[in-house]
Amino acid sequence: MSVDLNVDPPKFKYSEMIRAFLSAVREYKKPTFIAIIFIVLETLIECTIPFIMSLLIDTMGDYSTGKLGDASIMNIVLIYAAILVALAATSLVCGITAGRFSARASIGFSTNIRRDLFKKTTEFSFNNIDKFSVSSLVTRQTTDVFYIQMSYMMSIRIALRAPLMLIFSIVMAVIQSPEISWVYAITVPLLVIALGIIIYVVMPIFVKVFKKYDALNESIEENVRGIRVVKTYAREDYEKAKFKDRSAEIKVGFTKAERIMALTNPVMMFSMYVSMALLIFIGSYMILDGIGWVANENGELVIGFASLTVGQLSSLITYGAQILSSLMMISMVFVMISMSTASMRRVYEVMIEEPTIKNPENPIYEVGDGSIEFKDVNFKYKANAQKFALSNINLKINSGEMVGIVGGTGSSKSTLVNLVSRFYDTTTGEVILGGKNVKDYDLETLRNNVSMVLQKNVLFSGTIKDNLRWGNKNATDEEMVEACKIAQADPFIQTFPDKYDTYIQQGGSNVSGGQKQRLCIARAILKKPKVLILDDSTSAVDTKTDAFIRKGLRETLPDVTKIIIAQRISSVQDADLILVMDNGTMNGMGTHEELLKSNKIYKEIYNMQNRVGGSDNA
Amino acid sequence: MLKNKKLPPIFRIIFGFISLHKTAFICSLICVLFTAFGNIAAPIVLQNVTNLITDTINHIVINGNNLALKMEFWDEILFNGCLLVGAYVISTVAGLTYSQINAVAGQKYMDDLRRELFNHMQDLPVRYFDQNDKGDIMSIYINDVDTIRQLIINSISEVEFFICTFVSVIVMMIMFSVWLFLITIVAGVAMVLATKHIGGHSSKNFLVQQVNIGKQEGYVEEMMNGLKVIKSFCHEQESIDGYHNITEIFRKTGTKANSYANILMPVLGNIGNLLYVLVAVVGTIFFVNGINNFSGMGGFSPFTVGIIVSFLPIVRQFTNAASQMANQVNTVALAAAGSRRICALFDEEPEADEGYVTLVRGRYDENGNIVECPEKEATLWAWKHPHSADQSVTYTLLQGDIRMFDVDFGYNPNKIVLHNITLYAKPGQKVAFVGATGAGKTTITNLINRFYDIADGKIRYDGININKIRKKDLRRSLGMVLQDTNLFSGTIMDNIRYGKLDATDEECIAAAKLANADSFITRLPQGYNTYLTNDGANLSQGQRQLLSIARAAVANAPVMILDEATSSIDTRTEAIVTRGMDNLMKGRTVFVIAHRLSTIQNSNVIMVLDHGHIIERGSHEDLIKLKGVYYQLYTGAFELE
């Protein structure tokens, strides 16, 4: 089965993508809202605090120039202190509240995205799954979501705070002294341009290096997987050399990117220093220039500042630092978001994917019997594919029959049976089950009645019982044993110390291939279906056991239509009807004897497999 | 690198960096010091300027506004200005230098680390790979190395920078006022305690979350791999529920971890604000009550407002630096966990190889003795056996004669899985193993190539104890074709050449022809240059198997091990593959494992294994006559209707 795995290049609008992601906020709207309010409050207070502090310094400065008397200074300091303490306390409360709620909101949000994605994939038809491929679905739900979550978490606080800080600081700087705050009109654009250039240059490099980095990790995986081959050919040194080159390539790329990124700090320092130097020079000029005689509260003439005070100067410097650092943060958020854009796109592609197979409007919930009919069925995996995977299939199977299907790899045997349980829909023609088109059945009803043991069958981590209950949630122990006896699984299960409570590891790695297949058959039998399909499900089972399984199926499930796809003629030769598939068409149909006489392919396979019996085997 | 096992892993990683990049580290440290210079210079100059302004104003008050005074003032300002600009230039240049040095050295170290890890891993025994989950190994490279990247690239230089800032801030504080500095110390202790408490909770939860992410990803992987099965059993809702439960735990710990992390900054920031207020109030009280100041600059002297005014900005610098540093807590905690796993891999014992018998090219000299010779003249392979006793060297012809005597083996010393295995495989013979899964067929081949070492008994290869043969040479003399093909990313030609790195294209093509692979390869659009990715996902299982046979063919080893090489291929393809293998097996000693008896029927010896014992042995005919297990198996396939 060869399916083109390339996903079409995405065409969508950013705004729609953002909206799709935001829809995952759902029950976290309230915490999000609260978090935003408190972040805003906290930021405002945080910006006010240096302002009050500068007032405090100013007052002290006033004192030293004689504007204030000895007695009042203590009072004034205490008043400011009280204000500052109150502000700090409020800011602390706001900060803690914001922190808690934003943690709840952002983690909740990313959890929702994960759940949405997962739910979406379970709605996928086989077509959808093939389109993305399993490994890509895994990456999208793990690595990509993780990247999005990280960038979201890191940026949400900063993304709100930094612009607020920027605006507030600019406003305050201008309020403090419009005459001198123009200094920032030089340094801020300077920084913005420099940061812009850095981001512009570094982003493509990062994207490229990260791709190579992924490739490196893939090659490590390949190495780990093939370690026996590596060791067999004593290729350790070769692998090391190969890895060295690849790793060095990444080092070069990362170094280039990091070196450019490392410029941001000096650039930031430079702008900061230029602003400070300008402020101090121009500021002190203005202070001195503006000194004049001012009347104090007692009507005496004292020296005063007309245009700029020392305190104002120091708070200007503070605000300048805030302006520049909030710009830095904004640029960092920008980098982070743009780095996760690729991940966002990949996740979004899954989010908007439409399942190609859906439940019909007024579904039928009852399957009459296990009779199956294919009427002029043609099928291709992709609408724009040139070649039909199945063409011109006409076939009638009576309820309760045992049908065998043989044919080489790529002859579309699996494709044929996948149409019965609507894993794929026919391109043209109809598949009739129990007298009704399969498209008219409720999907769950259909799939519960057409039980399929897939070629690539999978057991899930859990006990044997847990796995068997997939077939029937409420299966009793007796029913399970019964099914396992039919599938010839009971004997080996009994040899396990924990019997039916034996824990199966992920992917069923602690049972052999043949045991896995037998467990999967038992699981399918437990569904009590009308049609049972075994898609090459006994390939790892020895011939004798294989025969016992078929015998068991025939005797215990006489009313169930049984379709058996197999490589071995011996697995199908006792079937009521045997189909020979070749290259997507039906090459022959009949009983074993008939086909041996009439079908070339069948005869060829049979002879090949039975050469064993002959004495000479060159 | 990373040798000192006594140190905590994170320090091993950091010291590894320092020792490998000493110059870079010292240079960057010096530059960081200079950078901090700028941070100190600014407040000092500001202080000077403030003083200057105040002085000048006082002069004006006393002496009236005169030009000379103003000129003098400007000279002073200019002097301070130059000081400032000078400090800034040095600081900026130093900042530029250390960030560049760190970027280069950091990436170099990441490269070192990756390579050391990978190289070390290559030398680990197969046992390590059998015992550790592939996903866990991969996560070391993907996640753990990344935590170190964060640590080395960001945290180290930040921490360096903040330490310098701290030192400079503390020096300045002491210069201005020791009393106020002591107040700052109290606040500093409060900050450390807060960081320890909140940051500790946060890191603890982050580590838990890291584990939860792993679990959640494992679930996704399992479910996605079984997605078609889920669909066929209508198990969608159950799997969604299962995922819901897992993500719920993830959500809870994640929220906790991030709450703590988010709280840390406001708490520290506001401790800083309180400190500011405290310094202002206490300073004023001291001043109003006329208490003497004690400072680094002036010793004991009356408290002035100027001192307070200068001290307050330094307080802010102090708290800013403290909160920034606390921000690194989580990075460090994650890196600590990451380095633990990385060091665990480093501490795995590499495959020991005490072998000294090597495989060399040779030819017969005129006396019929084997002598070593260059590749071009070589007619044979020989084992070169140096004898330490008399410094002599003997050569033994490589023939492929393998004998096992009373071999016992267990993957776990307490559980023996092979008992008393004795077998002879003479050059050119085909030896087959038959038996149920777990009977020990593959285990025997794992002993021949020394993926595992025997517990008891002996194995002789051309009469030599295989423990004396260098592992690499031993394995080079054994060709293997396994059920799992394992191709590598690269062209088809590259993959065939894997068997013999210096093989010419012609040799590779000849091998492909021998393996019956040439016809399908040449039918591919790019032929031998077809690029394979993802274990040759674009080829069929049969084609992959043919390639792995071609790979073994080009290696041209005298002994072949074929482990279930054809079991996942359909009959018609198998016929082609079998023909390829038959070509390969000619004239070689071959060990075959297969569950299709047709593949092994023509073997010289068939061993029937059961629970680690050889229960029957002999040729096909012998075993049929014996009417034992083999007979049952054999006839079992045919007595069934």
pLDDT for A299 equals 55
Is the CB of B601 less than 8 angstroms away from the CB of A265?
Answer: no
Residues B276-303: pLDDT tens digits? 888 888 888 887 777 777 776 667 777 7
CA distance B558 to B382: 11
Cβ separation of B284 and A87 shorter than 8 Å? no
Test B273 with A95 for CB contact under 8 angstroms: no
Q: Of the candidates A504, A461, A463, A503, which has an alpha carbon nearest to the alpha carbon of residue A480?
A: A463
pLDDT at A618 (0 to 100) = 29
pLDDT for A3 beyond 70: no
B4 falls within a domain: no
Looking at the structure, tell me whether residues B366 and B341 fall in a common domain.
no
User: Which residues from chain B sit within 8 angstroms of residue A461, using beta carbons?
Assistant: 222
B residues 521..540 contacting A (CB < 8 A): 534-535, 540
The beta-carbon neighbor of A507 closest among B61, B107, B225 is: B225
Task: State the pLDDT confidence band at A559, using cuts at 50, 70 and 90.
Answer: confident
Q: Kindly determine whether residue A265 and residue B99, on different chains, have CB atoms separated by under 8 Å.
A: yes
Q: Give the N- to C-terminal CA distance of chain A in Å, as an integer.
A: 33
Q: What angle do CA B630, B634, B636 make, to 5 degrees?
A: 110
The average pLDDT across A12-32 equals 83
Q: How many CB atoms lie within 10 A of CB A551?
A: 15
Residue B226: closest C-alpha in chain A: A458
> Which residues does B304 contact at the CB level (< 8 Å), separation at least 6?
A64, B287, B293
Residues ≥6 apart with Cβ < 8 Å to B439: B609, B610, B611, B612
B319 and B381 fall within a common domain: no
What CATH number does residue B147 fall under?
1.20.1560.10
- Closest CB to A61 among B119, B309, B570: B309
If contacts are CB pairs under 8 Å, which of residues 429-448 in chain B contact chain A? 437-438
Q: What percent of chain B has pLDDT over 90?
A: 0
A44-60 pLDDT tens trace: 888 788 778 777 777 77
**Are the beta carbons of A542 and B49 separated by less than 8 Å?**
no
Could you tell me if B199 and B304 lie in one domain?
A: yes
Q: Which domain holds residue B157?
A: 9-346
**Does any CB of chain A come closer than 8 Å to the CB of residue B107?**
yes
Min Cα–Cα distance to chain A from B633, Å: 8
Same domain? B471 vs B551: yes
Least confident window among A29-38, A69-78, A571-580 = A69-78
Confirm if A325 and A166 have CB atoms less than 8 A apart. no
Report d(CA B45, CA A279) in Å as an integer: 12
Yes or no, beta carbons of A266 and B114 under 8 Å apart: no
pLDDT at residue A93 is higher than 90? yes
| B353 part of a folded domain | no
Same domain, B382 and B443: no
Q: Identify the closest residue of chain A to B137 by CA–CA distance.
A: A224
Q: Given an 8 Å threshold on Cβ–Cβ distance, is A266 in contact with B96? A: yes
**Mean pLDDT confidence for B190-205:** 86
- Examine the domain organization and report whether B534 and B600 are in the same domain: yes
pLDDT > 80? residue A334: no
Residue A582 pLDDT class (50, 70, 90 cuts) = confident
Are the beta carbons of A60 and B153 separated by less than 8 Å? no
CB contact under 8 A, B228 and A64: no
- B380 lies in the same domain as B451: no
**Range 491-510 of B in CB contact (< 8 A) with A:** 498-499, 501
Residues of chain A with Cβ-Cβ distance to B437 below 8 Å are 512-515
pLDDT bucket at A90, cuts 50 / 70 / 90: very high
Where among B323, B346, B369 does a domain terminate? B346
Residue B518 lies in a domain: yes
In chain B, whose CA is at the least distance from the CA of A260? B100
Q: Is B85 on the interface with A (CB under 8 A)?
A: yes
Within 10 angstroms of residue A271's Cβ, the number of other Cβ atoms is 25
> Do B334 and B450 reside in the same domain of the chain?
no
pLDDT (tens digit, 9 = 90+) per residue, A480-536? 888 888 888 888 888 888 888 888 877 676 777 778 888 888 888 888 888 889 888
User: Cβ contacts (< 8 Å) between B498 and chain A: which residues?
Assistant: 229, 233, 235
Answer whether residue B2 is part of any domain: no
pLDDT at A97: 92
Shortest CA distance to A145 belongs to which of A24, A14, A16? A24
The residue type found at A558 is P
pLDDT exceeds 80 at position A332: no
Give the N- to C-terminal CA distance of chain B in Å, as an integer. Answer: 67
Q: Which residue of B has its CA nearest to A443?
A: B234
CA distance A207 to chain B (A): 16
User: Which pTM value belongs to this model?
Assistant: 0.78
> Pick the residue with more confidence: B240 or B231?
B240
CA–CA distances in Å: residue B66 to residues A340, B56, B62, B150:
64, 10, 11, 59
| pLDDT over 60 (residue A35) | yes
Residue B304 sits at the chain A interface (C-beta within 8 Å): yes
Which residue has better confidence, A134 or B568?
Answer: A134
Q: How confident is the model at residue A6, as a pLDDT?
A: 41
Contacts of A46 in chain B (CB under 8 A): 269
Express each pLDDT in A218-262 by its tens digit.
788 888 888 888 888 888 888 888 888 888 888 898 889 888 888
Angle at B102 between CA B96 and CA B103, to 5 degrees: 90
Mean pLDDT of chain B: 81
Strand partners, A449: none
Instruction: Please report whether residue B1 resides in a domain.
Output: no
CB contact under 8 A, A124 and B304: no
Residues in A closer than 8 angstroms to B213, CB to CB, are 146
Comparing A278-292, A393-407, A475-489, A596-610, the range with the smallest average pLDDT is: A278-292
Asked whether the predicted pLDDT for residue B7 surpasses 90, the reply is no
Which residues of chain A have a CB within 8 Å of the CB of B224? 121, 134, 137-138, 141
Which pLDDT band, with edges at 50, 70 and 90, does B641 fall under? very low
B535 and A222 within 8 Å at the Cβ level: the answer is yes
Q: Write out pLDDT tens, residues B380-411.
A: 888 888 888 788 888 888 888 888 888 888 88
Instruction: List chain A residues with CB under 8 Å of B84.
Output: 276-277, 280
pLDDT tens, residue by residue, A375-398 = 888 888 877 777 788 888 888 888
Highest-pLDDT range among A109-118, B46-55, B322-331: A109-118
- Contact list in B for residue A452 (CB cut-off 8 A) is 232
Final residue of a structural domain among B346, B377, B410: B346
Q: How far apart are CA B515 and CA B576, in angstroms?
A: 9
Q: Which residues of A touch B542 (CB under 8 A)?
A: 409
Same domain, B464 and B499: yes
Chain B contact for A88, CB < 8 A? yes
Name the residue of chain B whose CA is nearest to A88's CA: B270
The last residue of one of the domains, among B346, B371, B388, is B346
Nearest chain A residue to B261 by CA distance is A99
Q: Give me the pLDDT at residue B562, please.
A: 85
Q: Does B241 touch chain A (CB under 8 A)?
A: no
Residues from chain A that touch B250, judged by Cβ atoms under 8 A, are 111, 114
Asked if the model's pLDDT at residue A613 lies above 50, the reply is no
Q: What is the CA radius of gyration of chain A?
A: 37
CATH number, residue B593 = 3.40.50.300
Does residue A546 register a pLDDT over 90?
Answer: no
Residue of A nearest to B586 (CA): A618
Percent of chain A with pLDDT over 70: 90
Q: Within a domain: residue B184? A: yes
Whether A408 sits inside 8 A of B118 (CB atoms) is no
Domains identified in chain B, total number: 3
- Closest-CA distance, B193 to chain A, in angstroms, reads 17
Same domain, B335 and B319: yes
Q: Which residues of B touch A454 (CB under 8 A)?
A: 228-229, 232
Determine the distance in angstroms separating the CA of A382 from the nearest CA of chain B, rounded to an integer: 18
Look at A223-227, A306-310, A537-541 and tell me which has the smallest mean pLDDT.
A306-310
Of the candidates A346, A342, A337, the residue with the CA atom closest to the CA atom of residue A117: A346
Residue numbers in A near B488 (CB within 8 A): 219, 222, 226
Cβ-defined contacts of B13-20 (< 8 Å, 24+): B13/B113, B13/B148, B13/B151, B13/B335, B13/B339, B13/B342, B13/B343, B14/B151, B14/B156, B16/B109, B16/B112, B16/B113, B17/B105, B17/B106, B17/B109, B17/B152, B17/B156, B20/B109, B20/B112
The pLDDT value recorded for residue A310 is: 65
Structural domains of chain A sorted by starting position, each given as residue range(s) with its CATH number in brackets: 14-352 (1.20.1560.10), 372-613 (3.40.50.300)
Q: What is the 3-state secondary structure (H, E, C) of B365-403?
A: CCCCCEEECCHHHCCEEEEEEECCCCCCEEEEECCCCEE
Q: CA torsion angle for B387, B391, B397, B398 (degrees, to 10)?
A: 50
Put simply, the answer to whether A567 touches B570 (Cβ < 8 Å) is: yes
Q: Number of Cβ pairs closer than 8 Å across A and B?
A: 412
Q: What is the ipTM of this complex?
A: 0.81
Same domain for B84 and B191: yes
B392 and B407 co-located in one domain = no
Q: Which one has a higher pLDDT value, B9 or B154? A: B9
Of the listed ranges A291-295, A439-443, B331-335, the least confidently predicted one is A291-295
Residue B559 has pLDDT above 70, yes or no: yes
Q: What percent of chain B has pLDDT over 70?
A: 92
B301 contact A CB<8A = no
Q: Which residue of B has its CA nearest to A138?
A: B221
- CB distance A540–B567 less than 8 Å? yes
Task: Look at residue B439 and tell me if it is in a domain.
Answer: yes
Q: What's the mean per-residue pLDDT of chain A?
A: 80
Q: Which residue has the higher pLDDT, A611 or A354?
A: A354
Is residue B639's pLDDT more than 50? Answer: no
pLDDT category of residue A4 using cuts at 50, 70 and 90: very low
Report helix, strand and coil shares of chain B as percent, to nearest 5.
Answer: 65, 15, 20
What residues in A contact B221, CB-CB < 8 Å? 138, 142
The answer to whether the beta carbons of residues A137 and A114 sit under 8 Å apart is no
Residue B3 lies inside a defined structural domain of this protein: no
